[in-house]
Structures are given as C-alpha cells and as structure tokens.
Amino acid sequence: MRSIGAQIGAGPHAVARQAKGGAGVGSMISSMSNIIGLGLDATDIPRIAAAISRYGDRFVHRVFTEGEIAYCRRRRHPEVHFAGRFAAKEAAMKALGTGHTPEVLWRTVEVVRGGGPPRLLFHGGAARRFQALGARSSLLTITHAENLALAEVLLLSEA
C-alpha cells in the first residue's frame, strides 16, 4: 500500500511530490513520474445524504472505513464529506481500471487526512491491483459545491 499527497504539476507526465509530514513548498521533493491511471468522479451530495437517511449505518459501514466515518461525523455537514469520499473511491476505482468488482470493494480504497491534502490508502484487492499496475504513488484532490462533490485521482509510476 502506498499513498502520497501532492498537487503541483510540471507537465503532462511529471509531478512534484510532497514529502510525508511536510508542508509548503520548502518540503517539496521534485520527482519525475509517469501517469498510469486517471479517474474522475462527480457525486450528487443529496443522493448520498438520502442513502444515509434511508439506510443509516448499514450504508455507511458498507462503503466507508471506520477512519472515514469518524472523520466525516466530526464535520458540521457530514454528508458533504461522505459524498467527497464516495467520489474519491469511485475515481480511484476508475484509475485502477476496475470499477467496483468483487476484488476492489468500497472499503479497499480509503481516504485519509493527516495534516495535509487527502491521501489514498489501498487495501486488499485494490492494493494488489495498484501493485500489478506498477503504481508507486497516488494523488487525490476532492472539492465540493452546493450539491456536488468532485474527486480526481492520478496513479503514478517511476519515470
């Protein structure tokens, strides 16, 4: 399992990688990487709110990890954050080239925050697919609008 956070591009096949635990431009480590997977997803926030309202913990625990649930429930508007994480999982599954499969399940893709941009952790079948692709790191960005959560995922290999 690998995860890394970075948001700065340097051309179509290069990114600057943020060192773990670092913050700001001073901690950036330049590294050439190839993009080997790309996923983008838009999730309707009211749809996720309705699923949570209708199915409650059954839905939440089927889709999200304990860490994701704790993070979202600490927020003023948890449905917005659940929708963002749902979009991130969908985008990651697209980047992996699998979509949702018996091996790549909702909880095998996890969004974590640790004092910086959100990062992805891959578990089980998602981790195996990540490694099989030759991926070394991933980039994730999540944004929210009034009724929409968007996420984009890049999977990167060494140049």
Average pLDDT over the chain, rounded to an integer: 84
Quick check: 109 pLDDT over 80?
yes
CA distance 72 to 93: 21
- Tell me the average pLDDT across 67-84: 97
Residue 20 token pair: 């773990």
Confidence band (pLDDT; 50, 70, 90) for 31? Answer: low
CATH number attached to the domain at 8-20+28-158: 3.90.470.20
What's the pTM value of the predicted model, to 2 decimals? 0.81
- Please check whether residue 122 is in contact with residue 108, taking contact to mean a CB–CB distance below 8 angstroms: yes
Confidence band (pLDDT; 50, 70, 90) for 159? Answer: confident
Please tell me which residue, 122 or 6, carries the higher pLDDT value: 122
- Tell me the average pLDDT across 128-133: 97
Quick check: 147 pLDDT over 80?
yes
